[in-house]
Amino acid sequence: MAGEPYGELSRMSRECLFCGAAGPRILTNEDVSPVWLLKHLDLSGDDLFFQGVASSATGKLLQRLIHASWSFNQGSVCSTCNNGWMTGLESAAKPILEPLIDKRRPLLGLAPAEAAIVGKWG
Ligand SMILES: [Zn+2]
């Protein structure tokens, strides 16, 4: 990749972030914030999402990005991961998260297995 200033980044962007699968048209657009959550939070169509990138060494904020909440996608996940384990994890997390968001259930009332699901999802 010598001579390509973003060689490593572009190589990584063609592979699934999770399983490393690569190939033409293998990657899908994954919603960073799931549509069910945006609807549940009753966010307006022009809602914005802040993303900060910080150095793990210094804690210094290196990059500030603003995204449209309803169209913030990430295209580095293969369809097998996106439609497989990721969908399964989200389906398991949703019924745990909704009562937490609505304050119908306390966070400290989660069973260890529920906390593990939410931790993996988030
Ligand atoms: Zn994958």
Cα of 42 vs centre of ligand 1, distance in Å, is 31
pLDDT digits (tens, 9 = 90+) for 25-76: 899 888 888 999 999 999 999 999 898 999 999 999 999 999 999 988 888 8
Rounded to the nearest whole angstrom, what is the distance from the C-alpha of residue 107 to the centroid of ligand 1?
31
Q: Which residues line ion ligand 1, judged by CB < 5 Å?
A: 16, 18-19, 21, 78, 81
Task: Name the nearest CA neighbour of 23 among 105, 68, 79, 70.
Answer: 79
Contact 74, 32 (CB under 8 A): yes
User: What integer pLDDT is reported at residue 75 of this predicted model?
Assistant: 86
Q: What is the mean pLDDT of residues 4-33?
A: 75
> Which helix or strand (DSSP H or E) is residue 118 part of?
helix 112-121
Dist. CA 114 → ligand 1 center (Å):
24
